[in-house]
Amino acid sequence: MNECKKALVLLNMGGARNKNELKMFLTNMFNDKNILTLKSDFFRSILAKIIVTSRLDSAWKNYEEIGNQSPINPLTEQLVSKVEDNLSDICVYQVMRYTPPRANECIKDLEEKGIKDVVLLPLYPQYSTTTTKSSVEDFEEAAQGKFNIEVIDPFYKNELFNESIIDTIKNSVDDYSEYNLIFSAHGLPQKIVDAGDPYQKQVEEHVEILSKFLSEKNIGFKSISLAYQSKVGPMKWLEPALDEELKKYKDEKVLIYPIAFIVDNSETDFELSIEYKEEADEIGIADYKVCKCVNYDDKFIEAIKDITKLS
């Protein structure tokens, strides 16, 4: 490890390991200027405190249903270990935006090792100001110009990555023709997209790419569609909402693929697998399944090497 000539840093949102970390996650997220787009830091902090106070207990109950912590932490640790095993002379780190390990911890270690060249890989396949921009800015601000930083572009078009997704989808059901495949993306307020965020366009392009892959491999689902999850508050969000999309499939079978996530987290394990399943049961959907993310799949490790041009 001490002989690393370069570092690869995997960026993600993070997830809580306990209730104190959940409070930290929510506090940091709602103080993020890319999330709450208020001009005043003071008013943002006041609003963040109100939101966190009102949501913390109910949010923690959700975590209790998935074992009191987000799966993103152990899964990312395994991803880091596996990537590092497949690269030579490169130290691999994870940096989370809202919970430990944060950027300052990574930067301290990089300085101690004397590493100057850093590659940032945001683990968001599609670009959004709320994810990619926020995570990259957070690292660069903490780095204070001490490193030569290369930021990897969104990689939703990468063939190896998409093959990994197709493998995951393919292994989730036996008879594709019986299932309606819904690509579920994390939603955004419409005003963020209207302000120029390319996320929606890139998600739609990604669905087209994956649909073509499925067709080429003769994997024929009953239907393929895109919907958005996680809407909160009264403002207009991207549509169609997943709960509305599910209403089309009474007495039918549905398979969900979380297209905006690389590593499973509370929104895949709780929101998609528990909350939306309850809605599916109420609608009368005959069978409701959620695919796992690519996590640390072997083909995704190869995709990371291809995306970053590291070996």
| Domain count within the chain | 2
Query: In terms of domains, do 129 and 163 share one?
Result: no
1 within a domain of the structure (yes/no): no
Distance CA 279, CA 250 (A): 11
My answer on whether 52 and 100 are in the same domain is yes
Question: Does the structure show a pLDDT above 90 at 233?
Answer: no
Q: Is the pLDDT of residue 246 over 80?
A: yes
Q: Are residues 88 and 42 both part of a single domain?
A: yes
For residues 219 and 285, give the distance between their C-alpha atoms in angstroms, rounded to a whole number: 22
226 and 302 within one domain: no
In this structure, what token pair is assigned to residue 65? Answer: 């249903």
The answer to whether residues 268 and 302 touch, using CB atoms and an 8 Å cutoff, is no
> How does pLDDT run across 9-44, given as a tens digit for each residue?
999 999 999 999 999 999 999 999 999 888 899 999
DSSP string for 209-239? HHHHHHHHTT---SEEEEEEE---SSS-BSS
Name the band, by pLDDT with cuts 50, 70 and 90, for residue 287. very high
Q: Give me the percent of the chain exceeding a pLDDT of 90.
A: 95
Kindly indicate the confidence band of residue 3, based on its pLDDT and cuts at 50, 70 and 90: confident
Task: Note the pLDDT of residue 5.
Answer: 87
192 pLDDT above the threshold of 50: yes
Residue 1, pLDDT > 50, answer no
Q: What is the rounded distance in angstroms from the CA atom of residue 282 to the CA atom of residue 179?
A: 18
Q: Same domain, yes or no, for 167 and 116?
A: no
Same domain membership, residue 82 and residue 44? yes
pLDDT recorded at residue 90: 96
Cα-only R_g, the chain: 20
* Nearest-5° Cα angle at 300, 124 to 155: 35
Q: Are residues 98 and 184 in the same domain?
A: no
- Is 150 in the same domain as 247? no
pLDDT at 219: 96
pLDDT beyond 50 at 149: yes
- Mean pLDDT, range 89-93, rounded to an integer: 96
Query: Is the predicted pLDDT of residue 138 greater than 50, yes or no?
Result: yes
Residues 102, 142 share a domain: yes
Are 31 and 45 in contact by the 8 Å Cβ rule? The answer is yes
**Domain span at 303:** 6-155+298-308
160 dihedral zone (left: phi>0; alpha: psi -120 to 50; beta): alpha
Q: What is the mean pLDDT of residues 49-78?
A: 96
Q: What is the mean pLDDT of residues 129-147?
A: 97
State pLDDT tens for residues 101-128. Answer: 999 999 999 999 999 999 999 999 999 9
Q: Does a structural domain hold residue 199?
A: yes
pLDDT of residue 221 exceeding 70:
yes
DSSP output for 46-64: HHHHHHHHHHHHHHHHHHH
Residue 212 has pLDDT above 60, yes or no: yes
78 and 208 in a single domain? The answer is no
Task: Identify the band that residue 311 occupies on the pLDDT scale cut at 50, 70 and 90.
Answer: confident
pLDDT at 116: 96
Residues 117 and 135 in one domain: yes
